Structure 1
């Protein structure tokens, strides 16, 4: 006869697998032991793939990366106490990015709560309204599957997002001798009902607004553009092509492809061509570009968004644009492109891309140059590209040429934090079962370098982390803080210390400690040779750069694009 805690653990994992979960990331702990023993049996029977990580925060972001790459729920398991709090950053990202993440936390039984018992705190409700649903499952609860069903159904709701299962467990927390055969039989039955676990197909974003209409469904001709933000999906590109409209697509939109996509569009918005925009159709969530944000606020520009379902990142009525339910309504809003409108954008886009590429080729290694090289390598060999927040994803937005072979891109744009990015990339590789390149800044890498660590026997992702190491926070040099430090000597040291956060960390030594290969690429040629090789195992490519030149570089890029497309 199985112990009550082990029976609860089996019921919980059965429900998770039935809800589509095929990956569970486990952080070690005692109170969660019944769930760990059941997970081990499910892993042995191939009903569930289990990954073990020593750090709960990294474990949660690993599960997040798996869910991002596969589009299916992934779960993270922790013990009680502070371990639960370490899940909050990933829970926040999953909330705003609409990722189906199961936060599975073990807890002390109710009679120990509020008594000062070790590792006991108020876990139910700890994630507040950042989860779609939550359940405090107590040892005496009956019909566990019925209690779990509505919570797990919320994973795929509108909007999708994380859920919290808090499972209180009483001693004994380990299997009795007679539990082994019963546990193994349960796991075999679970595998027989659900099929083998393992890598899944890569999930591409999709707005889900029905079929894209043909040009005959459009309204009057206009000078409209389609802005494809994070998660827009390939239908945004198809819509732009069908209606003859320019496409301004962020790297993680899933739409940065096709003949209508303009690469260096944010620089073109500062030209006469950008000034001529009359209408903007927004698909997905734009997060990167101040020029796009300014465009969406222009009083002379009409704005609308294709948003068939509620989204987690926006409360109704809080944004300016008109909300449209489907592509047919979008076509009526934008109309077809005015005569000469799309050709002008195509000419300007090609000229801008050429000007950016030429300037980057003449200068020293820089963030945009590295971004362009990583993008091209992923397009060439099919690797998934994980873009770090801050400068790297913006460098991609500036320098990555759109095209039919544009690589799939994953980026944590829900809250755009730098935390957990290495773990997210590793999880994406494990979930999709394909090589991954992650493009990160040095601070993003240092924030999560411990996620390179793998326990003996754990499945290793094919992950190449390309780190632009400019010795601190380069993005601040391009913002108002950098301008202040440059023009006013009184603030120069303050800006450098509190925003630049300079460091002298040895990335090669860190990689050696975590068991990952390290190579330094100091020139474009060296980087090209490294990126030409297949991605195998865990490796870090360190690319040194000088952030003191960033403001000047971006000024030269703006000038080059303005000169390349003067009549636009």
Structure 2
């Protein structure tokens, strides 16, 4: 009987086990050693299979799918450096909580450390950026199928957040026509094949405890800080804080509608600092705050009590503030801690927000990336979503935009890197099936340029807005030496993105003003994928942000 057939049996049982844990999407890169896994995935309609020629982009594609489906997503790659290329996406998932299952094919042990081709030491390669790992033995009929499903069930029971790694050595032969050989091996699992349940289940305990003193604290002067939460949670938190009469300081990723917009600018105002000093309790939901002034307030405030509520485990406050670290689903926690109606206790903040909004309307008239961020809401597709890049793009949006409450916004704000942003956005689009606006800088786009190939297969219109500001202009806001800034920090690429659009068969536009940009975006959302390059003057956006921040404190 063919060993190639048994490799397929082994791979089939492994992938079938994943379905019992909610896996519906499998992302697959080309490779020979991973052939048993890829062919097993292709043989069933239980999964939606996604493919990409670049493993790094494939990992981020899976990350985007996991963000939107809220399900674990599997990634299959071949052996060697293909495995290492998944590391950046697993680092991000480790910090933001999306469940990825990295499945790497491997050479059998006798081909490791002996000069064999495409063979590296793969077990433990992602530590400490996965929550658990499983190094499987070489497939053998002597190993019962019930052991394999039990081992995978046990691994996935440990995956509360972030990624896990399954390493699968396969000995040749890897190919061959499927046959009825070794059916008895997999048939020992009996009714499991039709049950839809794990072979070995690990019931989970709920973490949504009730703070018994909440009825007392909700009568006090409170402040709500909201970082990265879901769109639905953002709407719930906005209503909860408004009922309590507590000011809500929302990050751009909060999806709360930022009822006090541009807080990252006016929080440094003396009137804001004086008013907030009277807060008795601060309740923070989610992490990954963007604006420097909000981060400063988070670290320096000294209320009587500080609660931080987040479903991820561990320390989530960079300032190591004392108080209560509450690990819970935010929606569940809000149900257990209802608000009662109070009048706003801190109207000074609303006054500052209004003054800042009026100031920005007057001072952001020149076309550029600051004005683009300020008017971002006008570009959003109806019933769609927004994906925003890191570095300067998200900081400008945080300072100048006010996005609608509950409008879906996605980003990679765990490690906050610029790698894999287009691939993640492609996964977001596939997961939602909705139109998507992508906003990112030129270096971010170049860093993930080949992932434009993934957007050729978008299931709804996609518009990619690339702000070409000649490099990493975020460094112009830092004390980098001017004499060496361009050479060693901003590194302007000096490229024309029309060629990137042509390379991948995408529509292209290069508007020179706001009205042209708005029209190009609207046209792009009629069909297909459109790349729009907005060419701006170097560090104008960064300098505008710095100028506004310095002037708002004197309003």
Same fold (TM over 0.5): yes
- Secondary structure at 2:249's aligned position in 1? strand
Q: Distance in 1 between matches of 2:173 and 2:499?
A: 43
Q: CA deviation at 1:373?
A: 3.3
Residue 273 of structure 1: SS of its match in structure 2? helix
Structure 1 contact 26–59 (Cα < 8 Å) conserved: yes
State how many pairs are aligned.
524
Alignment of 1:57 onto 2:59: no
Q: Structure 1 residue 308: deviation in Å?
A: 6.0
Equivalent residues in 2 for 1:38-437, closer than 5 Å: 38-42=40-44, 46-138=45-137, 139-140=139-140, 141-142=143-144, 143-155=147-159, 157=160, 160-176=161-177, 178=179, 218-222=217-221, 224-231=222-229, 233-234=233-234, 235-256=236-257, 261-271=259-269, 272-278=271-277, 279=279, 280-298=282-300, 300-302=302-304, 304-307=306-309, 310-311=312-313, 314=316, 319-325=320-326, 341-360=345-364, 362-366=365-369, 368-378=370-380, 381-404=382-405, 406-437=406-437
Among 19, 40, 44, the alignment partner of 1:17 is: 19
Is residue 524 of structure 1 aligned with residue 523 of structure 2? no
State the distance in 2 between where 1:369 and 1:561 align: 17
1:271-320 alpha-carbon deviations (Å, 9 max, x no partner): 112332134322110431211222123264456233365525649x9711
Task: Report the RMSD for the aligned CA atoms in angstroms.
Answer: 3.5
- In 2, the alpha carbon distance for the partners of 1:440 and 1:214 equals 44
Indicate the SS of the match to 1:543. strand
2:502 is the alignment partner of 1:501: no
Q: State how far apart, in whole Å, the 2-side matches of 1:66 and 1:313 are.
A: 26
**1:74 Cα shift?**
0.8
Residues 226-266 of structure 1: per-residue CA shift (max 9 Å, x gap): 11112273243233122111111112223335xxx211001
Deviation at 1:209, TM superposition (A): 5.2
- 3-state DSSP class of the match of 1:547? coil
Distance 1:69 1:170 in 2: 36
Distance 1:376 1:305, change over 3 A: farther
Give the distance between the partners of 1:331 and 1:434, measured in 2 at CA.
30
Give TM-score, length-normalised by structure 2: 0.85
* CA distance, structure 1, for counterparts of residue 526 and residue 283 of structure 2: 38
Question: Following TM superposition, by how much is the alpha carbon of 1:505 offset from its aligned partner in structure 2, in angstroms?
Answer: 1.2
User: CA, structure 1 residues 208+558, in 2 after alignment: closer, same or farther (shift >3 Å)?
Assistant: farther
Q: What is the CA distance between 1:551 and its match in structure 2?
A: 4.8
Shift of 1:65: 0.5
Distance 2:546 2:316 in 1: 33
The offset of 1:390, in angstroms, is 0.5
Specify whether residues 445 and 310 from structure 1 end up closer, same or farther in structure 2 by C-alpha distance, changes over 3 A only: closer
Q: What is the TM-score of this pair, normalised by structure 1?
A: 0.83
Aligned to 1:198: none
1:544 matches 2:532: no
Deviation larger for 171-180 or 369-378: 171-180
TM superposition shift of 1:331 = 12
Any stretches of 5+ residues in structure 1 without a counterpart?
195-206, 482-490
Distance of 1:266 and 1:121 partners within structure 2: 47
Note the alpha carbon deviations across 1:386-406, whole angstroms, 9 max, x for none: 1101011111111222444x5
Asked if 2 retains the 8 angstrom alpha-carbon contact of 1:454 and 1:460, the reply is no
Q: 2:544 aligns with which of 524, 536, 553?
A: 553
Q: Deviations over 1:162-211 (max 9, x none)?
A: 0101111122212325369x9xx99xx999877xxxxxxxxxxxx98579
Q: CA deviation at 1:352?
A: 1.6
Contact 1:375–1:396 (8 Å) recurs in 2? no
CA distances 1:113-170 after superposition (whole Å, capped 9, x unpaired): 2222111111011101211111011123432111100112233x2xx11010111112
8 Å CA contact 1:390–1:418 kept in 2: the answer is yes
